[in-house]
């Protein structure tokens, strides 16, 4: 296994654990953000292994799925599209208070 692949996977696991802590403390904006990061890093690990090169510096999950040449079930692809779109807002909010209000408790469960 490539060293960068291992690092991506360890970091993804760390991010997923962080998402759980954020969920436990009702910090829903960061639940979505950290889940996105975990998925992104997992996809980059796959790309690093399959293509034997450093993956591109992008946060676009749909692009990474395509680059990894993954054939995933439609429901998983739909989930990735949802979290991909939701994460953009968490990175660059125009109004943070509004953002927090838009992420009720059900939001992470419904993505």
- Report pTM: 0.87
What CATH number does the domain containing 15 carry?
A: 1.20.120.330
What are the distances in angstroms from CA 86 to CA 27, 73, 83? 15, 20, 5
Is the dihedral angle over the CA atoms 41, 46, 49, 53 positive or is it negative?
A: negative
Written as tens digits, the pLDDT of the chain (111 aa) is: 999 999 999 999 999 999 999 999 999 888 989 999 999 999 999 999 999 999 999 999 999 999 999 999 999 999 999 899 887 666 666 777 777 777 666 655 665
Domain tally, the chain? 1
Domain that holds residue 76: 3-110
């Amino acid at each position: 296994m490539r060293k960068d692949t291992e690092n991506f996977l360890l970091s993804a696991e760390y991010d997923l654990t962080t998402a759980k802590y954020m969920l436990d403390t009702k910090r829903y904006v960061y639940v979505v953000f950290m889940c996105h990061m975990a998925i992104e890093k997992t996809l980059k690990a796959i790309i690093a292994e399959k293509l034997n090169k450093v993956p591109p510096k992008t946060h676009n999950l749909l692009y990474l799925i395509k680059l990894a040449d993954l054939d995933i079930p439609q429901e998983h692809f739909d989930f990735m599209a949802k979290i991909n779109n939701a994460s953009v807002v968490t990175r660059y909010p125009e109004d943070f208070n509004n953002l927090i209000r838009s992420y009720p408790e059900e939001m992470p469960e419904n993505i």
